[in-house]
Amino acid sequence: MATAILPKPPARRSRKARHDTIVFYLCVAPWVIGFIAFTLGPMLYSLYISFTEWGMLKPPVWVGMANYTRAFQDPDFYISLKVTSFFTVFSIPVSLLTALFLAILLNEATRGVGFFRTAFYMPAIVASVAAAVLWTWILNPKYGPVNGLLRVFGLPGPNWFSDPKYVIWGFIMMSAWNVGGQMLIFLAGLKGIPKALYEAAEIDGGGRWPRFWKITLPMLSSTLFFNFVMAVIGSFQTFDIAYVISTARSGTLGGPAKATLFYMIYIYSLAFKGFNSMGYATALAWILFIIILILTLIVLRTSSLWVYYESEKEG
């Protein structure tokens, strides 16, 4: 095997090297122990729970794969997947484009950059519960500014958060508003593009659009990639805003009419509101883990097709 081609270890390792190794392991021990005790341990335990029927108050009962097969026969499982995917598919492009647009504006601006950067970033530091309550007012059917604006154009505004047809679009609007974090990362990426590239293009007579498509976008692709991956993961884990808005508005988690039954909301309602369904909820959490893992792998594998790393090309 592989050991055959390895050089023989020195007969006696130096005292210092051995001490170094011990010190290394001792130094990382707190993190390793923390990882085992607070991450790996609970994860393995939850994997075990996912094969049981458990209501938290009595000992879990082993049911084998029953929870996993139940998921695929559960209409609410598919509804929650549909709601979550629909939100992901629309909210990510909308929020990424908004963030990129704002970042470019800020990058071009010469005056008041500090003010606008703060203003656009502000939603990111607003507690999500407060933001959700704020949006119930912005999208208030009678007194909200959005419907007020629609009325100016003679359009009847819907009852956003109580109408099963429109509620998800209300959430997508919210995601376009809360782009401060993504915007800052884009801005940092824009600042990192060498000015010389633009100067060269200008000398060659490249206009604004060609410069954007041929320089800005390729040079920003790794930033875009990072934001995209984080946004996919984040949107699959949407919980807090949906929790606040659905309980405040329809009195039901995931309401109205299951239109905001995000995957995490479904897991939560099974785990803590359901009867004896902590095990099933845990199984759904593992299914989500696998879904996110697969999606992230797909994005990572295809990234070489559309992400440009300067260092790689040079190397």
For other proteins, the closer of residues 56 and 230 by Cβ is 56
CB of 56 to other proteins, least distance (A): 4
Is residue 243 within 8 Å of residue 267, measured between CB atoms?
Answer: no
DSSP state of 256: S
- Give 58 or 195: the residue with its C-beta nearer to other proteins: 58
User: Residue 162 or residue 235: which is nearer to other proteins going by CB?
Assistant: 162
The two structure tokens encoding residue 184: 């800052």
**Min. distance of Cβ 46 from other proteins in angstroms?**
14
Integer Cα distance of 201 and 210 in angstroms: 9
Q: Which residues pair with 53 in a beta bridge?
A: 61
Contact criterion met (CB below 8 Å) for 236 and 263: yes
d(CA 65, CA 203): 66
CB of 43 to other proteins, least distance (A): 17
When the beta carbons of 189 and 255 are compared against other proteins, the nearer one is: 255
Q: Which is nearer to other proteins, 26 or 290 (CB)?
A: 26
Least distance in angstroms from the C-beta of 64 to other proteins: 16
| Cβ contact 266:255 at 8 Å | no
Cα gap 62→26, rounded to integer Å: 38
Strand partners, 106: none
Strands (E) located in 21-174 = 52-53, 61-62
Q: How far is the CB of 141 from other proteins (least distance, A)?
A: 5
Residues that bind other proteins (CB under 8 A): 16, 19, 22-23, 26-27, 29-30, 33, 37, 55-58, 136-137, 140-143, 159, 161-164, 248-252, 255-258, 272-275, 277
